[in-house]
Amino acid sequence: MEAQTSAAVGVKVNGRVVGPIILLGPPAAGKGTQAKLIADTFGIPQISTGDILRSNVAQKTELGMRAKAIMERGELVSDELVCDMVADRLEQADCVRGFILDGFPRTVPQAEWLDAHLEKMRRAKQGDIVAQQACAAPVVIRLVVDYNVLLQRITGRRSCPTCGRIYNVYLQPPKVQGTCDADGTLLARRPDDAEDVFAERMKAYEQQTLPLVDYYRGRGRLIEVNGEQPVEAVMAQAFSAIENVNRL
């Protein structure tokens, strides 16, 4: 695991501000699973660009209509659309102590946009140190998982259309087969979890997202966690990384 060195990183877990956290990793690495645990523990929102896009597709909004076919092919939605979507979300009041970005950024231009946008937010909050810490330079947690493990996770994944809880028929089954433990809703399979679409998503990850590892490593912000461990072990390492990061 790489040590955090940047003094500008905005995580202050024992105080009030947590700051931005990015979860980086291939499809089915466990980003959503860990993001929900971090969100519940630290009281900051999970911002999943995949979930926001899927909700737009379900509601047949203009954004959803533009994104649907792209997502079904396993390709990435345009940087411009996704950055606009994230900019809107970061305006919401629940981001005041920080936020977890799950599935964003996913390309180098998105990462550059995010750095510039956070800088702009900090400038707008000059004089308010707490507000500036909430949008400080992000800590990036990379979940490292082998291809064959990803494939098993993808084929077994089911999620609750009502509350978003994630299950896996092989690895994390619900108590009653096919229904959500929390609200009893019938669990669903994502259309892009079909094996041929997964192959395309992996291609997009390797070509467009993997360069972010060097981008963040070069800026001293990358923390690598073995994502093949049980959920609780991954969670413990991610939490310890968040807690031990340089305080402002």
Residues in contact with ligand AP5 by the rule CB under 6 A: 25, 27-33, 49-50, 53, 70-71, 74-77, 82, 103-104, 106, 110, 153, 156-157, 166-168, 171-172, 192, 201, 230-231, 234
Dihedral-angle region of residue 30 (phi above 0 means left; psi in -120 to 50 means alpha; beta otherwise): left
Judge whether 201 counts as a catalytic residue. Answer: yes
Q: Which is nearer to ligand AP5, 8 or 149 (CB)?
A: 149
Q: Which is nearer to ligand AP5, 4 or 168 (CB)?
A: 168
Judge whether 31 counts as a catalytic residue. Answer: yes
* Residue 47: its H or E element: strand 46-48
Judge whether 66 counts as a catalytic residue. Answer: no
Q: Which is nearer to ligand AP5, 12 or 165 (CB)?
A: 165
CB of 245 to ligand AP5, least distance (A): 21
* Residue 31: its H or E element: helix 31-42
Catalytic residue among 66, 125, 190, 219: 190
Q: Which is nearer to ligand AP5, 17 or 67 (CB)?
A: 67
Residue 82 to residue 63: CA distance in whole angstroms: 10
DSSP state of 23: E
Catalytic residue among 106, 122, 153, 158: 106
CB of 230 to ligand AP5, least distance (A): 6
Residue 40 to residue 55: CA distance in whole angstroms: 21
* DSSP state string for 152-174: HHHHHEEE-TTT--EEETTTB--
CB of 93 to ligand AP5, least distance (A): 23
Judge whether 97 counts as a catalytic residue. Answer: no
- Closest residue to ligand AP5, judged by C-beta, is 50
The answer to whether 231 and 172 are in contact (CB under 8 A) is: yes
Compute CA distances 247 → 5, 25, 37, 88, 137, whole Å.
10, 25, 21, 28, 12
CB of 248 to ligand AP5, least distance (A): 27
- Active centre residues (catalytic): 31, 106, 157, 190, 201
